[in-house]
Amino acid sequence: MDETDNESKQEQHKLTEVQTLMLWLPLLCRASNGTDVLVLSIDGKAELERVLEATIEMLEEEKDQEKVLSLWLHHLLKQTE
């Protein structure tokens, strides 16, 4: 029973990580570009991208990685419009 409970907690933790990342991603994309002017420096933007890449790579499920990368790409392309 403890093993099942532990697995359930791990799954919930993974789900929370993905949901949190997906909630923050639009804000982080806007912060890297700003609405009218750049909010982050070029170095700050590069560091943010490295952290996001590392965080996405840590997600175990490919489908979760795809969801987050898709959302990231959507917001990056939206900024160029």
Task: Give pLDDT tens digits for 60-79.
Answer: 889 999 999 999 888 877 76
Give mean pLDDT, residues 35-48.
74
Q: Which two tokens stand for residue 7?
A: 């697995």
Residues in contact with 68: Cβ distance below 8 Å, sequence separation at least 6, in sequence order: 18, 21, 22, 25, 56, 59
- Domain coordinates of the chain in residue numbers? 2-80
pTM of the model: 0.69
Q: H or E segment at 56? A: helix 42-58
Task: Give pLDDT tens digits for 8-32.
Answer: 888 888 888 889 888 888 887 776 6
CA angle centred on 8, ends 6 and 15, rounded to 5° = 125
